[in-house]
Each structure stands twice: as structure tokens, then as C-alpha cells.
Structure 1
Amino acid sequence: MSTFLDLGVPAPLATVLAREGKTEAFPIQRDTLPDSLAGRDVLGRGRTGSGKTIAFALPLVARLSGAFASGRTPGRPRGLVLAPTRELATQIAATIQPLAAASGLTVTTIFGGVSQKPQESALRAGVDIVVACPGRLEDLMKQGHVRLDRVEITVLDEADHMADLGFLPGVTRILAATPQGGQRMLFSATLDRGVDGLVRKFLRDEVRHEIDDQSVPQGEMTHRVFLVSDDEKSDLVKHLASGRGRRILFTRTKHQAKKLAKVLTAAGIPAVDLHGNLSQPARERNLAAFGADPAKGGVRVLVATDVAARGVHVDEVELVVHVDPPMEHKAYLHRSGRTARAGAAGTVVTVTIPSQRRDVADLLRKAGITAPLEQVGAESAPITELVGERAEYVKPAPVQAVQQQRPSKPRTAQASQGGRGGQAQGNGRGRGNASGSTGRGSAAGSARGGDRSAAATSGGSRPMYSTGTGQPSHAHNPRPAQARPTGSRRAQHSGTRSGGPRG
């Protein structure tokens, strides 16, 4: 194995990694670092969990902190990383930050769902490296808050997911705004859906490195498929969620994720949700709760849609459960990649009802996964053996106690606000429901320009449970549905439609 020092990484940066227990390079780091540190354009292909973030963070910081680095200019960064989701942008910035600090560089994130004022302030103060999602970055470019004409190094991470989300036109405009002579690094699991066009247009004499799955440092990932009757599926999912280790349960829609998190919490299994309808503060709060020690207020269960599959990098996730099998095989692989990371072991379970047998078999075939179909009940021996020791029951917080803390508005006030569909959830589009879980009217999912107040957070985003003393054990308890303003009849009815946006 090669150490980072062997590969030419500057000693101060290698020391930062060593403090985190990272001394030997993963294959994608070993292969790409000599070229990227030398200033070459790099195209790296490898699945999630292969170590791509450090592979581009090291040359990004090392080259920008070099002897000939120019000074810091307000609104004109020298390094740019583009990421498809807020979660991934936050994770990337967290990886770069200690490396940048050791080199005297500054880092900031730019993405939607939060107020842009702090982002404007950071840009005005001058920042070396920007980690951004394309939509908000383009907004700030159009408003004149940022120019990319001094960018020396550009990184595009998860390019294939950018394509899946329809971001490639914006990414193309952003890359075109960077100087032609700058270094560019593009990392992607695949080169389909237009990613190859970006490579041809923006990379010059690039060095290509492809890491196959067998060379990725990965613990034992066991795939299992459980066939269960429709009637027993709910109980099976609760059993799978009840263990002592961290686990992520994936659903297909935002409504299902929010509902399942509430059901588990009510059953004494504290859970938080992660999906596209949550505001950025709610996302960060729930991810922090999932990553924290359960003894210190953390939770063991995260219920998520595919929005989390690319951007959640939490260690020691021992179980991933496809509560709803994904639509296509790439989503299956990205979801599954939340476990068995960096040498740890993990299990991936797909819950299947009889009507899904053929679709799941086709999904696994396309994903290259071989797993026998196991017919089980909610309390079958294979399930009990997999779950192991169950976590302690955590008594849900009494609803009445929460109502006293968060009193509802008088009905007259509700009616006066409800006619436009926004009411207490803060929405100007007129099609939202009271909880903000579906449709265009969700507070957290609408409005690119700014953050929402705490009242705009989806009801499923704040776990409500106690330690048995009758008092909530989590710092953020939601206002229950009974205490929320109900709004107009039209707003209520529009919020019950099943055709809301997914993810």
C-alpha cells in the first residue's frame, strides 16, 4: 500500500489525514494523485465510497496553497467544486476544511434552501474554495456576487447524478465561465446521459483512471432479499429497524419517508427522516441526530428517499433496508453504498411483496447482484438473527405535553391564513397541505431564495420521543398535527393528492 507521502502529498496535509487515522491511500487516490498533483486534467470513475473526495481535495488544496498562489479577491474564488446535492456539498466541504485550514485557505458552501445572505457575505470577504450546487451558484453569478474568471482548479463530483437531476445545462454554463487553461477534474460512476459530452468539451489531454468494484476498499457487503406478505410487511420493517446499530431505511416517496419515521418513533424506535421537502436546517438537524451517539440524544434510524443515497456519508451504518425497491439499478447501488464503507461490514436487505418479485429479480440482475429469495414472516428466525439484540424501547413524548408547549392558533386566525394554501407553513404557491409533505406547496421544498422559519419544517423532521420520564429526550420536538392550523378546505384537499414531487 502507498502512503500519502509516497504519492507526493505535502507533509502538512498528510499530517492532517494521519490525525484522522488515514495514512494509506485507497486505489482511486493512489492512481489519480500523481497526475492531479502535477496539474493534469483527470477523469476518475469509481463507485460511491471509493475515496473520491480525498482524491480531489488533496490536489485542490496543495496546488492552491503553492508558492505561486495569488492573493484572495472578493467574489472571485480560485477553487471550485460542483456537487449535485446539499448533503454532498456539505460533506465535501467538511473533508476539505481541515486540509485548507492547515494551508491557510478558506472554504465556503453555496446551495439553495437557505438564505443567500451569509453566502454573499462570505464571497465579499474573499474565499479561496467554493463548494457549490449549480442552481444557487448560477443565481449568485447572475446577481454579480461571484465571478469565476480566476478559478484555477475546477472539480465536478458525481457527474452522472448531475445528469440524472437535469443539471448538465447549468453545469455547462458554469464550466464555460471558468478559464480555459485551468485544471479540471471530473469524477463519475458512469459516462452516460451527457457526461461524456462534458469530458470532450472541458477536459484537455485528460488522464483516465477507472477503479473497478473489486479494488474498492470495502468490507463484506451481504445482499439479502426477503419475500413477505403484504399484511406482514409493516411489522417486518419495524423489526428490521429495531436493532442497536445504525440503519438507513429507503422509501420511494417523501410522504412515505415522513410517515414511516413517525410510525417507528411512535412504536418506541426513534427515527428521523431525510427527503426533498425538508428545509436545509431540518436536513442538517436530522443528519446530526443520526450521526450522534444514541446515549447523547442521537437516533439509530434514518428513513430517507433517494435524495440521501448520494450525500449521506455516516460511518458504521450496519444495515440498509430497501423498504420500497428502487426504480432502477443505479439507485439500488447508491442506496446500498451507505453501508460497508471503508472496510466496515454491512448488510443490504430488499423487502419484497409477492407482486414485486419479477421487478426485483430484474433490478438485481441489472445491478449484478446475486441473492436468493428468502420467504419470511415478521418474526422469522432469519430476521431475528439479522437484527440481533433489540434497542431499548423509547417512550414517545405525550402529545398533550407538546401541545402545551406549542399552542395552536385560534380557528379564526387559521381561517384567515388558510385561503391561500400557505398558512403557518409559510408558502406562497397556494397548493400546499398543512404538513408540507407533498405537492408544490411544501414550505421546505419551495422557494429557492431563502431559508424557512422553524414553523416551516416538515412535521416528520423532528423526532418526538422521551426517555420514559414523560419529557421529550430530543431537543427538537414537533408541533403535533392536531395543533397545526388546518387552512382552507381547498388547501387541505390539494395537499392530499398523490402526484406530488418525489424525492
Structure 2
Amino acid sequence: MPQNTPAPTTASFDALGVPGLLSRSLTTRGITAPFPIQTATLPDTLAGRDVLGRGRTGSGKTLAFSLPLVARLAALVPSGESIAGRTRPAHPRGLVLAPTRELATQIAETITPLATAAGLSVTTIFGGVSQNRQVEAINRGVDIVVACPGRLEDLMGQRLIHLDRIAVTVLDEADHMADLGFLPGVTRILRATPRGTQRLLFSATLDNGVDKLVTQFLDNPLHHSVDTASSPVAAMEHHVFLVPSTDAKNELVRTLASGSARRLLFTRTKHQAKKLARQLTSSGVPAVELHGNLSQNARERGLDAFSSGEVRVMVATDIAARGIHVDDVDLVVHVDPPAEHKAYLHRSGRTARAGHGGDVVTVVLPEQRSDFRSLARAAKISAAPVSVTADDPRVAELVGEVAAVVDPQRAPLAASRKPAPQQPGAGRASGGSRRRRGGSAAGRASTGTSGAGSARTTVNGRSVGAPVNTGSAAPAASTGGRARPGRRRRAGAAQGAPRGAVNR
């Protein structure tokens, strides 16, 4: 069983043993203070130990494993000397497994500036697109592969990639992979990596088969648990809104979506996500959809538009509950309450990330009240349900500044979809800015860029040049540069991820 190790006190990256080359890369991008999960795990991971790190999404896990992955492959620490060397074509030396395409892409964006500084290359491997460009990148001799299990196994079966030289393996969102039935494939992949090499497993919970992976593949691992998925988030406020009918729900959801800040709406099914996104767009609230029925290009276009602030509303299924990491999401709306409490916690975790505040709204119909009470108990959510209408002052407070209505034909990405009829009873929010509940977000640090040059990274086989700042806070582009009303910030939130980046 893993050893329980208490988290050390906060220290600088240098004091934790991060090589100067990498700590300077972090400083260049405004990342100066480690988060607790990084403080807890880095001394052990940099020393080459197997580690099981548990922490909720938004706690800084991605940077926690990216630093030792790059440092050891580049032999920047003494324990990495034995694994340094030239990467052979089709034989990568570092492997990160992730459950979704979006997460794989964003993990690669996090690793990229560090890898570039150390002279390493990174590529992504996932399905939904042609494998040709991925194979081309592999054949050039890539150092680090960030992959989804399905496509990786396909390429292994075709003998287009070999894992016999993998020196560091990372398994991210391990509990999610077990939930989705990836466990047999992940087991086969880990068996293909050499025994005795370093393995890092990061997860929000230790269940659903994750403990089997730990027992089978990690060698005497150290166990660090920081801010687990079941622990409350002080900066996250939960609201439960009761509505009497579907029409009232539609009107409320449309109003909640009408604010000028970024918000994420969750539905249970792909059909509902598609329908709601198009209804909102046709009613003057541009929205993008994210679900499994979309092509990879469509998913990337929608996520890019949402991440950049071009579109402020995304409607998604649970594919986005852990698959995307976008900073400055002010509001998460459970349009349909999820089926179980872990999905609720991970959906809600898209806001209040990296020291920022956020609000979570669950819309509950009469027939859903009993099920939601059970879910709330399991999730340890104590918000009192309240009956509201779309023009309720409590709703207006969450909406904040109402954005201007946009002609559906002029909405971003409008050419790629046919607008659906406006949903019945759609109404506007009843004006008024949301009251402030804490400090202003004005003056937050702007996103920096690395001085190390363009990243040697391939995403879906294409070279991506711009380094991604995974640690500095981003400007509030989605609100036109204005401070977001009502958004609180905790001390030490220097690592707030930029829009579209991973800080987990």
C-alpha cells in the first residue's frame, strides 16, 4: 500500500529541487509560488520515486508531474542521468496517459514551454482524426507522448510506436479512466513499459480500480493527498434553483447564460447539448457545444472560441467535466443534474480554479428533487434549495452585467451550424450588475510568454509554436478587460491557468 506522507510547508520551486532552467522558465511566465500538490510531490518525483498524488481538478496536478517528467528526461537532476540520451524514432522516453482528447491537448500545452527550455519535443496521440500526422511526428523521434489509450493501443498494434524505452510514465485522471472502462487498455499499455522505471499516478479519488493499478505497477509509491475531490472549495458557492416546469427552466437557463462573463452549461445528453447551444445562439446568446458527436476539428474550434473569449457560453456533456481546463469560468450551470455525485463535483470544478472564486447553479424540476437531495448529501453540498423565476434578484446577481444581444447570423461559428428556433419563454435578465462579494479582479497579471523560443510540440501532428503560460493569471478578456464583479481571489493565486491551459 502507498505510504502516507504529510505535505511539506510552502517553499519556492528552487527550494523543492526544480532545476534552475525550468524554474526560470516558470518565472518568465509569472509562475513563482508552488501549489500544495506541487510542494508535496516534487521532492519525491524529482528524486525518481513512484508517487500517487491525489487532489481535485484545479489543484495544480499537471504542473506537478510535468516538471519531474521534463527534468528527468533531460537529465537536469542527478536521478535522471541514467535515463538521458537520444530519443530513437518511434521509441519515446516519456508517456502521459489522459482520458480525453481535450485533456491530452491541454496537458501537452502545459508541458511544452518546459520541454522547449530543456530541448525536448512533445506530441499528442488520440483518435477522431487521421493517424498519419501523428505517425509522422513519432517517426521524427519525439521525446514525450501525451496520449489517449485507444489510439495509442491502435498504433502499438500496428507496430508504429514502441514503449520499450519509456523511462517516465504518468497516468492522469486515473479514476476517470476507470470510470470510463479504460482500465484493461491502460493495464496493457503499462505492461508494455519497462519494469523498474518511474511511474506517477494522479487522481482525484482512489477507487474504481485505481488501487489495482497502484498495487500492480507502482513500486513502493509515496502517497500525497492534497485537496481531494470530496473536500469543499471555500471560494465556490453552490446554488440550487427550483423551477416548476420545463418552460420556466428554459427561461431561467437562457437568463443565466446572458451575462458578459464566461460560463459553462452542462446537460446529460449530446442531443440536449446540441439543441441548447443552438437555441441560445438563435436567441442572441452565442454558444458553442462540446460533446462526443462532434468531429475533432469542430471540438477544437468550439473550445478555442470559448477559451479565447470569442464565445462566452459553452454547452457540454460530461466530456467537459474533466476534459477542459479554462480559466475565468465564473459560473457553472447544471442544466440537468448529473446522475452521481462525483460527476457533480467534477463539473463544478470547472469554476473556482487555481485560487479563483466561482458559482455553481443546479436547476431542479419537481420530479428531480428527491434524486438531487441524495446527490447533494453524497457530494457534501449544503446549499438550501430556493424557488426562483428568471427575473429573481438572486438570478440577476449571478448573471451580472448582461451582454448585448447578437444577431445569430453574425455569431462566431454561425456559418458552421443551422440556428434552431428560439426556445419558448426565453427572456432577458433583469438588468443590474452583480454585487461585489470580495476583492476586485482588476490588475491581475497579464499572460506572459517564454523567452525560450517556439515550442517543439505537435498537436494532432501539427507544429504548435506559442508557449502556453500555465501558471500566470490571465486578463479578463471575456469581459472586455473589466474586472469581473463578485469574483473573489484567495491569497497565493499566482498560478491561475490562462484560458485554455491546464492547471490541475
Secondary structure at 1:81 match in 2: strand
In structure 1, the partner of 2:267 is: 251
State the 1:481 CA deviation: 8.5
Q: Deviations over 1:307-363 (max 9, x none)?
A: 011111111000000000000000000000000111111000000011111111110
1:289 — aligned with what? 305
Offset of residue 16 of structure 1? 1.7
Deviates more, 1:4-13 or 1:206-215: 206-215
Go from structure 1 to structure 2 and tell me whether the alpha carbon gap of 1:369 and 1:70 turns closer, same or farther (over 3 Å shift). same
Q: Deviations over 1:10-30 (max 9, x none)?
A: 111112222222111111100
Structure 2 equivalent of residue 85 of structure 1: 100
Helix, strand or coil at the partner of 1:3: coil
Per-residue deviation, 1:475: 7.4
- The alpha carbon displacement at 1:477 in A equals 3.1
Give the corresponding residue for 2:151: 136
**Superposition TM-score, scaled by structure 1 size:** 0.78
User: 1:60-99 counterparts in 2 under 5 A?
Assistant: 60-66=69-75, 69-99=84-114
CA contact (8 A) 2:259 2:399 kept: yes
Query: Is 1:58–2:67 an aligned residue pair?
Result: yes
The structure, 1 or 2, with the larger RCO (C-alpha pairs under 8 Å, 6+ apart) is 2
Task: After TM superposition, list the pairs within 5 Å mapping 1:271-350 onto structure 2.
Answer: 271-293=287-309, 298-350=310-362
Aligned-partner Cα distance in 1 for 2:402–2:25: 38
The CA distance in 2 between the partners of 1:150 and 1:19, in whole Å, is 32
Q: Are the counterparts in 2 of residues 240 and 383 from structure 1 also a CA contact under 8 Å?
A: yes
**Match for 1:153: what amino acid?**
V
Q: Report the Cα distance in structure 1 between the residues aligned to 2:208 and 2:234, rounded to whole angstroms.
A: 30
Name the SS for the 1:268 alignment partner: coil
Name which of 274, 277, 282 aligns with 1:261. Answer: 277
Alpha-carbon deviation of 1:214?
Answer: 10
Instruction: Verify the 8 A CA contact 1:217 1:343 in the aligned structure 2.
Output: no
Q: What's the CA shift string for 1:364-394, capped at 9, x where partnerless?
A: 1000111001111121121112212210100
| Native 8 Å contact 1:219 1:343 kept in 2 | no
Judge conservation of contact 2:55–2:229 (CA < 8 Å) in 1.
no
| 2:416 matched residue in structure 1 | 477
Report if aligned partners of 2:242, 2:363 keep a CA contact under 8 Å in 1.
yes
CA displacement, residues 421-449 of structure 1 (integer Å, 9 cap, x when unaligned): xxxxxxxxxxxxxxxxxxxxxxxxxxxxx
Amino acid at match of 1:138: E
Two-structure CA RMSD over aligned residues (Å) = 1.8
Separation in 1, partners of 2:139, 2:414:
34
Distance 2:411 2:325 in 1: 28
Which residue of 10, 22, 26 corresponds with 2:31? 22
Contact 1:218 1:343 in 2 (8 A): no
Answer whether contact 1:42 1:206 (CA < 8 A) is retained.
yes
CA-to-aligned-CA distance 1:476-503 (integer Å, 9 cap, x gap): 5335799xxxxxxxxxxxxxxxxxxxxx
Residue 404 of structure 1 is matched in structure 2 by: none
- Which residue number corresponds to residue 124 of structure 1? 139
Deviations 1:272-324 (A, max 9, x none): 0000111111111000000113xxxx110000000011111111000000000
Q: Give the Cα–Cα distance (whole angstroms) in 2 for the partners of residues 350 and 367 of structure 1.
A: 13
Q: Which amino acid aligns with 2:94?
A: G
Distance 2:302 2:187 in 1: 33
* Secondary structure, counterpart of 1:302 in structure 2: strand
Q: Is the 8 A contact 1:219 1:346 kept in 2?
A: no
SS in 2 for 1:325: coil
- Quick check: 2:25–2:113 contact (8 Å CA) kept in 1? yes
Instruction: Say if 1:27 and 1:215, in contact at 8 Å, map to a contact too.
Output: no
Structure 2 gaps of 5+ residues are: 1-9, 76-81, 422-504
- Deviation, structure 1 residue 72: 1.4
What CA distance in whole angstroms lies between the structure 1 residues aligned with 2:231 and 2:275? 36
Quick one: which of 4, 16, 36 aligns to 1:7?
Answer: 16
Deviation at 1:155, TM superposition (A): 0.4
Using the alignment, how far apart are the partners of 2:230 and 2:360 within structure 1?
20
**Counterpart of 1:386?**
398
Which has the greater radius of gyration?
1
Q: How far is the alpha carbon of 1:134 from its aligned partner?
A: 0.4
CA distance in 1, matches of 2:254, 2:176: 31
Q: How does 1:162-311 map to 2 (within 5 A)?
A: 162-213=177-228, 220-230=235-245, 231-293=247-309, 298-311=310-323
SS at match of 2:319: helix
Q: TM-score, normalised by structure 2?
A: 0.78
CA contact (8 A) 1:221 1:348 kept: yes
Residue 309 of structure 1 aligns to a residue whose secondary structure is: helix
1:212 positional shift:
3.0
Contact 2:57-2:229 within 8 A present in 1 as well: no
Q: Which has the higher helix share?
A: 1
